Amino acid sequence: MHIPDGYLSPSTCAALYAGSTPFWYTALRRMRRAVHTRMIPLISVFAAFSFIVMMFNLPLPGGTSGHALGVAIAAIVLGPWASILAISTALTVQAVFFADGGITALGANCFNIAITGSLSAWAVYRLIAGRAPIESPRRVMAAAIAGYTAINLGALLAAVEFGIQPRFFHDAAGTPLYAPYPLHIAIPAMMIGHLTIAGIAEMAITGGIVAWLQRSEPQLLKATAPAAPAGRYSTRPLWIGLAALMILSPLGVLAAGTAWGEWSPSFFASPPEGLKKLSAFWSAPMPGYAVPLFHSHHLGYLLSAMIGTGLIILLSLGFGLLTRRRASQ
């Protein structure tokens, strides 16, 4: 689902940046009112959680791979607007430093995953959970369905964006300039793996964490469950869990195959001209989560998880500090 540079035309990328901008603006304005709360550490931990969860690749049918997103649990705990900021931060760090998703396609990836994922997960969870008590199993079921919906809506949007490229962007001979696969190929190829394995993984993660929070930190569910008990909560268990995932992150390299639609130009015998040109738009310092000077892919993956988490924390703290300063002026 991380669309690389070169798979979408410049006009498609510009349109999706433009479509994402109002949501980013609204999210930033809403979060400026919440900087005096403990929201910034929560945004950090859920942005980092999403970043690391997306490093755990799962084998999908056809020899490709996929992953969960962590977007639904972020929307349930943080609310949709803070979730948009958290997941957009994770996607930006992935694109800029690790070439996981393109810079030109960052607007598309944020629209598909952070924006659509957050808003759809929040809406589905609230609709199904209704006024159920905070400890109700209905909320666990609602969270699981919200996760399944969010990841599959994002995958469908990515598939459509891939699939319209050869129809609208081709040379005089009809040869595609960017993503070469039409809708009737892109949609099944993308959706089969997400409707089955990746979607079920997102269901399990979202429902499982909500079930755990119901017992341990129900106050964290207050953003989308007003009847949840008020009071202080601890983020320490969340950071401990994040550290454990970080240590386990090298397991993410075990899945064989690249995610569908995320191939480098060398994958094609004759790469589309536009794809070949745009794919060199940005050179990330640690492409593929490989850290220079370390020959071990597993060690590089672990260090990338640590570096990415550190960058996310710094960005979140910097945003909180800047917003506080502007609010005090």
Q: Give tens-digit pLDDT for 13-25.
A: 999 999 999 999 9
From 132-141, 196-205, 221-230, the region with the lowest mean pLDDT: 221-230
Q: Which residue has the higher pLDDT, 315 or 36?
A: 315
Residue 234 pLDDT > 90, yes or no?
no
pLDDT above 90 covers a percentage of the chain that reads 70
Torsions phi, psi for 261 (to 5 deg): 80, 10
Provide the terminal-to-terminal Cα distance of the chain, rounded to the nearest Å: 41
Q: What is the pTM assigned to this prediction?
A: 0.94
Give the count of alpha carbons within 13 A of 213, CB side only: 30
If you search the block for the tokens 């035309």, which residue do you land on? 9
Q: Tell me the pLDDT of the chain averaged across its residues.
A: 91
Q: Give tens-digit pLDDT for 148-188.
A: 999 999 999 999 999 999 999 999 999 999 999 999 999 99
Closest CA to 202 of 39, 298, 72: 72
Across residues 190-203, what is the average pLDDT?
A: 94
What pLDDT shows up at residue 227?
A: 74
Q: pLDDT band for 304, please (50, 70, 90 cuts).
A: very high
Q: Which residue has the higher pLDDT, 259 or 70?
A: 70
What pLDDT shows up at residue 247?
A: 92
Q: pLDDT band for 75, please (50, 70, 90 cuts).
A: very high
Across residues 271-298, what is the average pLDDT?
A: 90
Beta strands in 1-105 (DSSP E): 58-60, 64-66
Spatial distance between the Cα atoms of 296 and 110, rounded to a whole number of angstroms:
31
What pLDDT shows up at residue 25?
A: 95
What pLDDT shows up at residue 329?
A: 59
Domain ranges for the chain, please list them. Answer: 10-241+289-328
What pLDDT shows up at residue 51?
A: 97
Q: Give tens-digit pLDDT for 58-72.
A: 888 777 888 999 999
Tokens coding 60: 């999908």
Q: Give tens-digit pLDDT for 82-111.
A: 999 999 999 999 999 999 999 999 999 999
pLDDT above 70 covers a percentage of the chain that reads 96
**DSSP 8-state code for residue 329:** -
Query: Which CATH number applies to 10-241+289-328?
Result: 1.10.1760.20
Q: Which residue has the higher pLDDT, 110 or 36?
A: 110
Residue 79 pLDDT > 70, yes or no?
yes
What pLDDT shows up at residue 35?
A: 59
Element of type H or E holding 259: none
Furthest-apart CA atoms within the chain: distance in Å: 65
